[in-house]
Amino acid sequence: MRMLACRGSGDYEARAALTLVGGCLLVMTAVAAGFSQTQSSLYKATGTVLSTEPAGFTVKTDAGASLTIVVPGNALLLRVAPGEKTLKNATKIGVAEIAVGDRVLVQGQISSDQKTLTVVRAFDMSKAAITQEHAAQTAEWQRGAGGLVSAVDPVANTITISTSGFGAAKKITIHVSKDTILRRYAPGSVKFEEAKPAPLSQIQPGDQLKARGTRSADGADFDAQEIVSGTFLNIAGTVSSIDATQNNLTVTDLKTKKPVVVKLTADSQQRKLDPQVAQRIAMAFKGGGTGAPGGAPGGAGAGAAARQATGGTPTAGGQGHPSGAGGFGGSGGGPGGARAGGPPDFQRLLNRMPTATLADLKKGDAVMLVATQGADSSVTAITLLSGVEPILTASPGASQALFSGSWNLGAPGGGGGGEEGGP
């Protein structure tokens, strides 16, 4: 939760802003001026309504506490629609209209034990409206652009990204305006809601980036409304040891030949490729030659093999714009995750594969993973994929090529791991 101050004058002037992120976490900021009590004298809290009563309701605050809200007759209750930038269109409601699951920001007098708050004013966003906005933002991220950052121009306010995957690499220029929301994943975190505001200067070549906004007709330019970026590791290697008690494993990195301790969390996505699918993807890499950086499959033959691997059908048109699942997933419409006008999305393929656990792995198994660097020398797995021996034999750089721009994190507007959802 963030509280921001707005200055206003007159009998009543206020602003409210809403941001939806993964898991429907709602961050509301609101202030009001012109009341008999000063802003600083009021206790403020945001949270989710757990239960309702005729004279009030109970809120679970974002800090995790349970707060009983008492609503006197002179309290001001306003309902704000998601996406509204001011309270111009807010409507007055009665306490009976507040429902379980609504998100609220309450301001008032707190009891000495800080368990009961007598409301002076409250801002409410209904659960139904949040769900609708959540779905809309998920669709926007799915239609967005994602890939590896190849260049950043702070003078022109542009970021160049390179997409790959099941197709030849394609460069997209992301345009950043003064209104673009910039966020960056926290070190060691795989949760989108923990991403922090960050300036353009923090984005560096090699970072992974996802943006929502408007794409140009030719797909070469993208006007970003919101950007999330982070430094992630693409690792391919073989399992050298497994520690089930600590829920981690050690992988010998094929590139550096050094051991890497990989931690698994409840948010880590673990999948195992079907042998036939792995063989077909390997064929795609072998058929692609050197047409794409990092060993990414290129050419019509590779695209057809990739579509066959995912159960899709050939599509006409360009290469498309691979993006992630879990709220970062591609929009797409063909069978097996194939997109109209382009190749299928690799993350969609993963979502169709059976889940795996640490117990399914053994020493010597080949794995590919996307991870975030932890506070120590270990890494935290975002996506861990096994059953990849044929792919790595065909192309040791396959992990970088396949996972570029499609990491499965706590993504905007989604719930984790589902075909259309996000972490």
Q: What distance in Å separates the CA atoms of residue 264 and residue 17, rounded to the nearest whole number? A: 35
d(CA 150, CA 160): 6
**With bands split at pLDDT 50, 70 and 90, how would you rate the model's confidence at 243?**
very high
Query: Which pair of structure tokens corresponds to residue 275?
Result: 């042998």
pLDDT at 69: 97
Name the residue with higher pLDDT: 264 or 166: 264
Structure tokens at 97: 């209209």
Q: What is the pLDDT of residue 195?
A: 86
On whether the CB atoms of residues 264 and 248 are closer than 8 A, the answer is yes
pLDDT reading at 420 higher than 60: no
Say how many C-beta atoms besides its own lie within 10 A of residue 20's C-beta.
Answer: 24
pLDDT at 188: 67
Query: What pLDDT, on a 0 to 100 scale, did the predictor assign at position 366?
Result: 94
pLDDT one-digit tens code per residue, 372-396? 877 677 888 888 999 999 989 888 8
d(CA 248, CA 261): 7
Q: What is the pLDDT of residues 82-126, one digit of tens each?
A: 878 788 899 999 999 999 999 999 999 999 999 999 999 999 999
Burial class, 372, CB count within 10 angstroms (exposed 0-12 / middle 13-18 / buried 19+): buried
Q: How many residues does the chain have?
A: 423
347 closest CA partner among 269, 259, 293: 269
What is the model's pTM? 0.59
- Tokens encoding 325: 């699942």
pLDDT value at position 11?
A: 33
> Where are the alpha helices (H) located in 266-354, listed in sequence order?
275-288, 299-309, 346-352
Per-residue pLDDT tens digits for 148-185:
899 999 999 999 998 765 556 789 999 999 999 999 98
User: Is the C-alpha dihedral spanning 323, 326, 332, 334 positive or negative?
Assistant: positive
- Give yes or no for residue 330 having a pLDDT over 70: no
Q: CA–CA distance from 190 to each of 20, 122, 185, 231, 293 (Å)?
A: 17, 32, 8, 11, 27
**CB neighbours of residue 225 within 10 Å:** 15
- The DSSP letter of residue 132 is H
Show Cβ contacts of residue 138 under 8 Å, excluding neighbours closer than 6 positions.
327, 412, 413, 414, 420, 421, 422
Angle at 309 between CA 306 and CA 315, to 5 degrees: 50
pLDDT-wise least confident of 267-271, 283-287, 337-341, 375-379:
337-341
- With a cut of 80, say whether residue 43 has pLDDT above it: yes
The domains of the chain, with CATH numbers, are: 13-125 (2.40.50.320), 145-423 (no CATH)
Asked whether 122 and 77 are in contact (CB, 8 A), the reply is yes
pLDDT tens-digit series, residues 245-262: 999 999 999 999 999 999
Residues 2-29 have pLDDT tens digits of 333 333 333 333 333 333 333 333 334 4
Whose tokens are 């599509």? That residue is 315
Average pLDDT over residues 128-154: 88
Rounded to the nearest angstrom, the gap between the alpha carbon of residue 207 and the centroid of all alpha carbons in its chain is 15
Q: What's the CA gap between 307 and 287, in Å, rounded?
A: 13
Longest dimension (CA), the chain: 74
